[in-house]
Amino acid sequence: MTTPDVPHRLEMTVELPGTPEQVWHAIATGEGISSWFIRTDLEGREGGAIVTYMGEGMSSPGEVTGWDPPRRMEYEEPEWASLGGAEDAQVTPLVTEWLVEARSGGTCVVRVVSSAFGTGADWEEPFFDTMREGWVEFFTHLELYLRDFPGQQAVSLEIVREEAVTAPAMWQAVTGDLGLPDEAGKPVDMRGLAGHVDQVTGTRMLVRLTDPYPGYVSVWCGEFSPGKAMVNIHAYLFGPEAENYVEREEPGWKSWLDGLTVPAR
């Protein structure tokens, strides 16, 4: 049996708007995490359960191993290798620690550290690289959430498509059909959701919504293998009528994305 003695570590630090209590709600409650990241259930206590739902048929269960509100949370995910397609890999649990430190001026510094030991298999380092790229994107969501919607709970609308095309071709097809501009500050009306472009970098865009529901939409496209692209559109909507909108409109969004013509390039 191969011994898992190859260390892997990811560490990121970001300064965010809000009090420690507001930041803690965003990173240490299921309602808060699900409002800027992906659907997550969290039992807020040491020994409590945490489950992150990655998509249809995919989840990462774990256990809270450190709990000191509003300063520190730690949890372990023993099945993280399965997310990299290596269910039988010899690895130690993935340990993630969140640290919150208040700063003057109404901001907090948040540090997140994830670490585990593997065997040095080919998939391990790319897994951590992909996780780092994902945190960079989701931290932009977290900043916007804390800036405009602290303490509120979002309703999610999420659609995904994979296709044997390049990411630029997929991106051009999606943004072109939605009429999305490529410059921050420009107005947007995407299938009846109106707002403006908050950020855009390459094939990633964050749209701040104002009408008919406040919230934001992440549009992202990337390649997981040569010639195969994935696009993810994830709307986080707030307000008493947002849930009715998602129930009513999500099938139409899915039908639109599935039927979109993407030229092979």
Per-residue pLDDT of the chain (265 residues; tens, 9 = 90+): 578 999 999 999 999 999 999 999 999 999 999 999 999 999 999 999 999 998 777 899 999 999 999 999 999 999 999 988 888 899 999 999 999 999 999 999 999 999 999 999 999 999 999 999 999 999 999 999 999 999 999 999 999 999 999 999 999 999 999 999 999 999 999 999 999 999 999 999 999 999 999 999 999 999 877 778 999 999 999 999 999 999 999 999 999 999 999 887 6
- In this structure, the answer to whether residues 161 and 246 fall within a common structural domain is yes
- In this structure, the answer to whether residues 122 and 28 fall within a common structural domain is yes
Q: What are phi and psi of 157, to 5 degrees?
A: -125, 120
Enter the tokens of residue 229: 């692209």
Last residue of a domain, one of 107, 122, 148: 148
- In this structure, the answer to whether residues 162 and 122 fall within a common structural domain is no
pLDDT at position 146 is 98
Domain assignment present for 264: no
Domain assignment present for 1: no
Domain assignment present for 265: no
Largest Cα span, the chain? 57
pLDDT at position 1 is 58
Last residue of a domain, one of 125, 148, 171: 148
- In this structure, the answer to whether residues 215 and 244 fall within a common structural domain is yes
Domain range for 205: 155-259
Domain assignment present for 192: yes
Backbone dihedral region for residue 52 (phi beyond 0: left; psi -120 to 50: alpha; all else: beta): beta
The answer to whether 245 and 213 have CB atoms below 8 angstroms apart is: yes
- In this structure, the answer to whether residues 135 and 209 fall within a common structural domain is no
Last residue of a domain, one of 122, 148, 174: 148
The answer to whether 197 and 188 have CB atoms below 8 angstroms apart is: yes
The answer to whether 100 and 27 have CB atoms below 8 angstroms apart is: yes
- In this structure, the answer to whether residues 142 and 111 fall within a common structural domain is yes
- In this structure, the answer to whether residues 190 and 134 fall within a common structural domain is no
The total of structural domains in the chain comes to 2
- In this structure, the answer to whether residues 250 and 199 fall within a common structural domain is yes
Domain at 52, CATH number? 3.30.530.20
- In this structure, the answer to whether residues 144 and 169 fall within a common structural domain is no
Strands of the chain (E only): list them.
6-17, 40-42, 49-55, 58-68, 72-77, 94-103, 107-118, 155-163, 187-190, 193-201, 204-211, 215-225, 228-237
Domain assignment present for 77: yes
Domain assignment present for 89: yes
Nearest to 20 by CA among 65, 72, 63, 62: 72
pLDDT at position 44 is 97
pTM: 0.93
Domain assignment present for 180: yes
- In this structure, the answer to whether residues 205 and 172 fall within a common structural domain is yes
- In this structure, the answer to whether residues 116 and 98 fall within a common structural domain is yes
Domain assignment present for 142: yes
The answer to whether 156 and 250 have CB atoms below 8 angstroms apart is: no
- In this structure, the answer to whether residues 163 and 76 fall within a common structural domain is no
Tell me which amino acid residue 115 is. Answer: S
Q: Within 10 Å of residue 1's Cβ, how many Cβ atoms?
A: 5
